[in-house]
Every structure is written in C-alpha cells, then in structure tokens.
Chain A
C-alpha cells in the first residue's frame, strides 16, 4: 500500500504498481478475516478478537504513516499533487465517510425512516444530502480550485480577493467547522474502542487518538492519502459483509441494494400488525403512566424526593424483616443510593425522564412508519397538515444544508488539490461519489433488514432468552440500548426496545447471529471511518492555523521544513483539545456533524461560488459575505442551545424557530444571507469604471 515513487508519477507503470499493491492489500485483509474466522472456530476467545482487530488495523495505518513520513512542504500539504484520480477518489471517500456515515447513518435510517419525526428531521435527507453535494463540488468548486494551484482552502480567498481579512476569516471558519466535526469523530472512536476492549470511554478515546496521530503527525497529506485508501477498503468490507449476510439470510440473495424492496413492503405489514396489537398498547399505557408519575413528582420536587426516599427505606426494612434474598436487598439499596442528591438534580433528571417516557409512549415506540414520506397528512386535520408541511420543509432544508456544506467543507476540497491535473480533479470527484455510493446504496438496505430482523425475530421472544450482546451494550451506555418488560408479560414488544442511532451498525452482526469476527470487522470499519476523517480534519485545522493565520499575519523567517514541523505540533495540540471536548460527550454524532455542515456551507460556499463565477466580487464583499453567512448560521444555532437560553437575555436570541426550521439546518438562512450580503457589498464597493480619456488638445 505504501509504495510510491516520484519518478513514476503519471506513468502507466506507476498506476499498475499501485493497482497491484491494492490487490495484494485487499487479499491480505480477506486472508486475515478467514484466518480469524478459523481461529474463532478453534476456540479463540471473544475477549481477544476485538482488541486484535483494533490493534492490528491501527498498526497498519500507523505503518503506512511512518512509511510516508515527510517534511517536504509540497508532499506534506498536497501529497506532491500526483495521486491518480481513482485513488484520490478512494481517499476522498474514506475522508468523507466519517463515523457519522458508518456508525450513525444506518441507525438514523432505522430510527427515522424516510424523513424523521416532526421535531427531528433526518432519514434519507442524510443520504441524499451527503451524495448530492458532490454534484456541486464537481460542477462549481473543485476543478476551479485545482486550476489555481493552491494548498489550503483559505488560500483561495487570499489569492482571489487579496488582503488579509478574507484569508483570516476563512481560516477561522475552517477551524470552527472542522473542530466541531473532529469532536464527533473522536467521540465515535471512543465509543468503538470502549466497546471492543472494555476500557473506559476516555481511555478508548486516547487509544484511538494515538492511531490518528501516528499517520497525520508524521506524513501529512501524503501519508494520509495512502492510509485513507487502506481505510476505505476496511470500511467497505466492514459494511458490505454484514449487509450481504443479512440479505442472504432473509432474502436468499446477498446483493442487498437490489433486493430489499420486498422487505420494505413486509415492514409496512408488520407495522400495521404492531399498531393493532393490544400488547403494544399496554406498553404505551405503561410508559404514559410512568411519564405522568414523573410529571406529578415535578409538581413538588422536594416532597416527592423525601417520599421516594422514605418509600425505598421502608422497602429495605421490610425485606430485611422477611429475611429476603440478599440480591433484592442490594438492588433496593442501590436504588436508594441512585436517588438524586438535591432538588436541582432531581428536577433536571425527572424532567428528562418525563420527556423520554412521553416519547416512548407512542405507537411503534415513537418511530415513524418506515417508508412513509413525512409525518401527518396533506389533507387531514389542520394539525396533521401542519405536521406534514413542517416535516417536508425540514427535510428539504436539511438536505440543502448537507449538500451545500459538502461543497464547503475544507477537508474534502483540499483532497482535490492532490490530483495531478484539472481533468484529474474532475474525475476524482466522480470516483469519490462512486466509492461513496457503494456504501450508501447499502445503508438504507441495512436499516430495512435490521428493522425486519427486530420486528420479526426479536419482538415476541421471551425476556429470559434475550441474547447476550444486549446486556453488554446496555452496560456501555444505557442511552444506546434499553429494553425493559413494561407490561410484565415476559415477552418482548416493539415498544419496549429502544436502540440508539449509534448502536445499530455496531450491533448488526450480533443481531443477525453472525460470527463474532464480523463484529470485530465492523468495529474496525467504524474505527477506520472515524480515523480517516479525523486525520483529514486535523490536518486541515493545523494547516489553517499555521499556514493561514500564523505565517500570514506577519512576515516570519522560517524555512518550509520549520513550517511543516510547526504544523505538526499544532496538529498534536488540536487533537488533544478535541479529545478533551469529546470526553465531555457534548452531543450525539449526527447533530454535531450536521451543525458543522451548516456552518461550512454558510461561511464558504456563497462567497466561493461568487468569487469563481462573478468577476465583480470585491474583497469587502467577500468579507461581508463570509461574516454574514457564518454569523447568521451561528446565531440561529446558538439561540436554541438550552444552556445559552438560560444565561443570555431573551431579546438577544432568535425569537422561536424561523419558519419552523430546526436549528441544525441553520445553513438555510446562512447561505442566502452570505450570498446576498456579498453581492450587496460588492456592488456598493465596486471600483469606479475607467475614466474616459480627456482630450487635451481643446
């Protein structure tokens, strides 16, 4: 994988050698899988399989990183601009498919169906948004940027508009959106590492971080490119093997994307059955009762807390008096210890639990029917009509933000700087989309197959015979998986299972009864997806900080090698900071990533496209456009963060939702605001037309 030779650049021989190395590598990965399967059948313990996959894959990436180490600036920033389009496409695909795509996408499709719930757009908008954006990249952005021979995205703003401010603002915007994105990736790494090795979440983060740093720290873009090619292979295999397996099991044909239409219909039938099932209604009633209980407690938290404590103490006393089983007494004492310590925490926790229970107290556990577009009905009651138009509007808005954000994310655009020619940049985009589609076409199939598996097999099984993996995942984090016998009949109902979006892909092999080796492979794939994106992002952030901010603000004497070394250490610092933020578990993966797309789209795309296609864009216009776009998007997002709402005075914040658009789709307002202000200010500050020559002979 790690072989490259400047002399052979562009030539057929160079390409063939790359193909050969890739083929050997794929064979190697497959051979390793077979070896592990054999070892498992010979009795290799599960405690070893996970760590072996994690450790070996990280070592391979690190090995490529060490092999590709460089301090040459051209190599470090743009991989010497001689990556053939197909490999560039693969690397871009790995760069692109983050933990959000690999871990969360199928889960989101499972939970949100076609378009998500009224308060939470999603579903297939992610799929369309993350692929449709490539049309914009190919047609409007990438070839033009490649033609300018740049190193970073802020370079474009510098070269096109001149002056300091366009570049500084672009660099800061690049840092902000990439940082949010990288936090989500590192969170994903922590999730996988802690499940596979059983270490704490925080230690898992540190382990994964070591892998990221080994390749981006040493080799820059050159090492990252080849690492990403290696990671793409792992990601693709890790996704396709479980999907094909499930498809073969359910449909008798492993080509899932073409075959799963049948299951879509069957799920609709099962959903109708579940909606009519009395046991499901008992579950809904039980959740409703519990939610009402929390609501009642919230009426007077202090008294409720005291009553609760007394009740449990009574129970313990009674159990002791009866000489009951020690286990029961221990459980009761744990319950006592787990009670909220003061009124404030009690109010916060109970409010959250009340909302959770209300959410689950809906038919199908609050999940929308799988294949129905949008909630509500276009010709139903006024509420249903409103719910229909709002889910549709939010679906389109989310799709728009993801598409435009794709065309603005700096770590993706810099990938196309590495291709040898402008034509190469164009075909690189096409290859990227192809390689991404290989996986994305299977993602909705996986969601459908898993849902069928759950509805058909898990629902109706007995609580005593629950599979092992459920308990293991519930232990990692209760928000990932919870299952509880609400109506006390000992049988699993659909409403009683709740799977987190980040869990479904990782648990698929176990759900489908695949060998544990496949679980290891899936986890390695998730790790590869998260690491490859984190690599690209960290490099983008550190380049923006060092190249675009530090060295542009003042003339500084430094050789290119010194600059590269400084970039490396900035990268280290940024990575540690991101790990620190990720350890605080700020949010789920998908909302973080979506927010970063909204910001990138608003900050970069309007000004970049205007700058490329309209000669009249001025420097002032560019500055105004970027500030305005970024400002509007950030303002709308931050206005709806609960923490800030409590602190800041209400007149400072946006007044409710604008047009019912959810805050993560803030790009819908940011992009037009940026375009409009860039156009207006450019027009106001247009240079005077050349004066007619005054004839002096008069």
Chain B
C-alpha cells in the first residue's frame, strides 16, 4: 500500500506506456537489425571471414576486436541524431498546428523515446 504523504503517491496506479510513433519504431527496428548483423551475424561466420585479410588484419578478428565496436558507436549516434530530428519536426508541426484553428491541434500526442 502506498503511504498517502509520499511524494510519488500520484504515481501509485499503473499507467500504460504512451503509444510509440511508427517512425521511431522503424528506426529502432532498422538499427537493431544492423546491431544483430554485425554482432551475431558476423561472429557466426567469423571463421570464414578469417581467410580474408584486409591490410594486415584477418577480417574476422578485426570485426570482433574493433569493427563491431565502431559500428555500435555509429548505431547509437545515428539513433541520437535521428530522434532529435524527429523531435524537432514534431515540435515544428505542433507550433504550426497551434496557429491554425484549435480543432486540429488535438492530433499532436506526446511522444518520447
């Protein structure tokens, strides 16, 4: 039971998460696919990639030791950049909607993530 005088008393009942924007979900799915490919996909075939030598590196070893890590950074950075962009667009659209008649602006739900 919740004590009524705690600061989070208003949070005591569960709430379902906000609906997720479809664009966000596609972005997430795409990036997770890239993540799975470079980690599980590439590592599954690591022995076959070994015979390819790029520079002085066997490719399988290089992906495991460095390439994978660099791709992970790229994934996280792309995610940040794309989400910030989506949020800016949403904010612009909300600002534009605020100027047109009020009947339309109810269509801008709160997204995050």
Contacts and interface: CB of A to CB of B under 8 A. Distances in A.
A667 to B, nearest CB: 15
Interface string A613-627: 101000100000000
A403 B39 contact: yes
A612 B1 contact: no
Contacts, number: 160
A264 B56 CA distance: 8
A9 B57 CA distance: 47
B31 to A, nearest CB: 6
A287 interface: no
The dominant DSSP class at the A interface is helix
A127 B65 contact: yes
B39 A144 contact: no
Report the contact-size class of chain B (Cβ under 8 Å from the partner): 35 or more
Contacts of B16: 615
Contact of B56 (A140, A155, A265, A392): A265
B11 to A, nearest CB: 5
Given A403-B39, A611-B17, A615-B17, A143 B112 contact: yes
A595 B55 CA distance: 37
A657 interface: no
A441 B70 CA distance: 9
A555 B76 contact: no
Interface in A115-165: 115, 124, 127-128, 131-132, 134-136, 138-140, 143-144, 147, 155, 158-164
Contact of B15 (A159, A378, A423): A159
A374 B43 CA distance: 10
A399 B2 contact: no
A226 B54 CA distance: 42
A551 B5 CA distance: 12
B73 A555 contact: no
Given A138-B79, A396-B44, A160 B14 contact: yes
A378 B65 contact: no
Interface string B53-87: 00111101110111011101101110110011001
A264 B75 CA distance: 28
A74 to B, nearest CB: 10
Interface residues of A, number: 65
A477 to B, nearest CB: 29
Interface in B80-110: 80, 83-84, 87
Contacts of A128: 39, 43, 64, 68-69
A135 B46 contact: no
Given A160-B14, A160-B17, A373 B72 contact: no
Contacts of A147: 112-113
B60 A139 contact: no
B73 A434 contact: yes
A372 B31 contact: no
Interface in A390-407: 392, 395-396, 399-400, 403
Given A433-B73, A613-B20, 7 more contacts: A138-B75, A139-B79, A161-B14, A371-B50, A403-B39, A423-B83, A615-B16
29 contacts: A114-B46, A138-B76, A139-B75, A139-B76, A159-B14, A160-B14, A160-B17, A162-B14, A164-B1, A371-B58, A371-B61, A373-B61, A373-B64, A388-B47, A392-B43, A392-B44, A396-B44, A399-B40, A403-B39, A426-B83, A426-B84, A427-B80, A429-B76, A554-B3, A555-B1, A555-B4, A556-B3, A560-B7, A613-B20
